[in-house]
Structure 1
Amino acid sequence: MSVTYDFAGRTAIVTGGARGIGRAIAGKLALSGVDVWIWDIEPVELEGTRSLSVDVTKRDSIMQALTIMGEGGIDILVNNAGWLGSYKPFEEFEPTEWQRNLQVNLLGTFEVTHRVLPLMRRAGKGRIVNMGSLAGKEGLPSLAAYSAASAGVIAFTKALSREVSDTDIRVNCIAPGPIDTRLIRDLGNETVDAMISASPLKRLGDPNEVAALVVWLCSDASAFNTGAVFDMSGGRARY
């Protein structure tokens, strides 16, 4: 059964929308009538959307993008830009690698939200969906930096949702387990097979399944949800 929404007249920013989960989110929002702007370092061509080259870790890049977009409001912000990094023990990490992980996954979410939130405040409404990870809930071995950054995204979501509870701004988080994207496939067949074996559903998630949850969280049907963390783990999440 296909669920559809009518978001005509709304504007969204999806960071990290060039591929994978972000691309699926941008596409599904566009099909629902949203004016979608994809922010990504990579060039993006996706029907029904517009894109800008944006580095979410750079404040000047964010401000330039907002200037290009013009004076209109932002109804939906999906902080999806992320970087997994290497899959290896923490002792083997170079500091530059875990610093980049924190910059992209956590501080990038801070930077973009810090610039977009005042626009939502002015309108008194909006939807923010932050992409965390199962790693941020459980702490996954060989993904220590990514786990720490994702845990920060989860805590940030909960804190910010309370700060804006006097408005119609809702802030939620999705914590996917392994999803069938290049980011996961690049870890290698052995690692991917182990992830599938650890899943009660015995498969990777589909990016479109994550996108469907994002769209629902941006809809009026989800008006009472804020500060929540929604698993997309195929049953792997233990709490």
Structure 2
Amino acid sequence: MQVTYDFSQQTVIVTGGARGIGRAIAASFVASGADVWIWDVEPVELAGAQSVTVDVTKRDKIASGLALLEGRSVDVLVNDAGHLGRYQPFESLEPAEWQQILQVNLVGMLEVTHQILPLMRAAGKGRIVNMGSLAGKEGLPDLAVYSAASAGVIAFTKALSREVNDTGIRVNCVAPGPIDTRVIRDLGNETVDAMVAASPLSRLGDPVEVAALVLWLCSDASAFNTGAVFDMSGGRARY
């Protein structure tokens, strides 16, 4: 059964919406009538959505992206921009590599939220969904820095939700396990097969399934949820 939502008259920003999970989320919001703005370093062609080149680690680029809204409020922010990095032991990574992972996954999320949150507070309402990862809950070998960045996303979500609980702003996190995206496929067949073997459901997740959870979190049906972490791991998450 397909569940539909009405996000007409709402402005939605999705960072990292060029590919994979972010694109599925953006497309689902478009189908639900939202005014969707995709922020990514890559150009995006998605009918019904506005594409803006934004590096989420650069404050001036974020400000320029916001200026295009011409004073409109932001009803929904989905922080999806991410960088997995190489699937390698920590000591084999150069500092520049793990710094980039932290900058995109954690600092970029902070930078974007820091500029959009005041707009939501002024409006007295809004939805923020931060995309974390199963890695941030459990710590995955050969993805140590990505795990650390994702754990930071989870902790920030919980803390921020408590700072704004006197408003209509809700802040939640989605922590996917392996999802069938190019980023995961690029890890190679052997790694993907191991991920599938470790899944109780014996498959990768579908980006559309993740998008469905995000839309629910941003809908009125989820008004009582804030500061929560929602797994999308096919049963792999242990807590």
Q: Is the shorter-chain TM-score for this pair beyond 0.5, marking a shared fold?
A: yes
Aligned to 2:60: 60
Alpha-carbon offset, residue 70 of structure 1: 1.1
Please give the per-residue CA displacement for 1:79-134, whole angstroms capped at 9, x wherever unaligned. Answer: 00000000011110101000000000000000000000000000000000000000
Two-structure CA RMSD over aligned residues (Å) = 0.4
User: Secondary structure, in 3 states, of the residue corresponding to 1:162?
Assistant: helix
- Which aligned runs of 4 or more in structure 1 are off by greater than 6 angstroms? none
User: Secondary structure, in 3 states, of the residue corresponding to 2:68?
Assistant: helix
Task: Write the distance in 2 (CA, Å) between the matches of 1:182 and 1:50.
Answer: 23
User: What letter is aligned with 1:81?
Assistant: A
Task: Write the distance in 1 (CA, Å) between the matches of 2:205 and 2:186.
Answer: 16
Structure 1 residues 1-239: aligned runs within 5 Å = 1-239=1-239
User: Secondary structure, in 3 states, of the residue corresponding to 1:194?
Assistant: helix
Task: Write the distance in 2 (CA, Å) between the matches of 1:51 and 1:159.
Answer: 31
Unaligned runs of 5+ in 2: none
Alpha-carbon offset, residue 69 of structure 1: 1.9
User: Secondary structure, in 3 states, of the residue corresponding to 1:202?
Assistant: coil
Alpha-carbon offset, residue 48 of structure 1: 1.1
User: What letter is aligned with 1:9?
Assistant: Q
Alpha-carbon offset, residue 68 of structure 1: 1.5
Please give the per-residue CA displacement for 1:40-63, whole angstroms capped at 9, x wherever unaligned. Answer: 000001011111000000000000
Tell me how many residue pairs correspond in the alignment: 239
Task: Write the distance in 1 (CA, Å) between the matches of 2:216 and 2:48.
Answer: 19
User: What letter is aligned with 1:154?
Assistant: I
Unaligned runs of 5+ in 1: none
**TM-score normalised by structure 1 residue count:** 1.00
User: What letter is aligned with 2:16?
Assistant: G
Alpha-carbon offset, residue 76 of structure 1: 0.1
User: What letter is aligned with 1:109?
Assistant: M
Task: Write the distance in 2 (CA, Å) between the matches of 1:161 and 1:119.
Answer: 16
User: Secondary structure, in 3 states, of the residue corresponding to 1:120?
Assistant: helix
User: What letter is aligned with 1:177?
Assistant: G
Alpha-carbon offset, residue 18 of structure 1: 0.3
**TM-score normalised by structure 2 residue count:** 1.00
User: What letter is aligned with 2:34?
Assistant: V
Q: In percent, how many aligned pairs have the same letter?
A: 77
User: Secondary structure, in 3 states, of the residue corresponding to 1:57?
Assistant: coil
User: What letter is aligned with 1:8?
Assistant: S
Alpha-carbon offset, residue 213 of structure 1: 0.2
User: Secondary structure, in 3 states, of the residue corresponding to 1:69?
Assistant: coil
Please give the per-residue CA displacement for 1:219-239, whole angstroms capped at 9, x wherever unaligned. Answer: 000000000000000000000
Alpha-carbon offset, residue 7 of structure 1: 1.1
Task: Write the distance in 1 (CA, Å) between the matches of 2:209 and 2:47.
Answer: 20
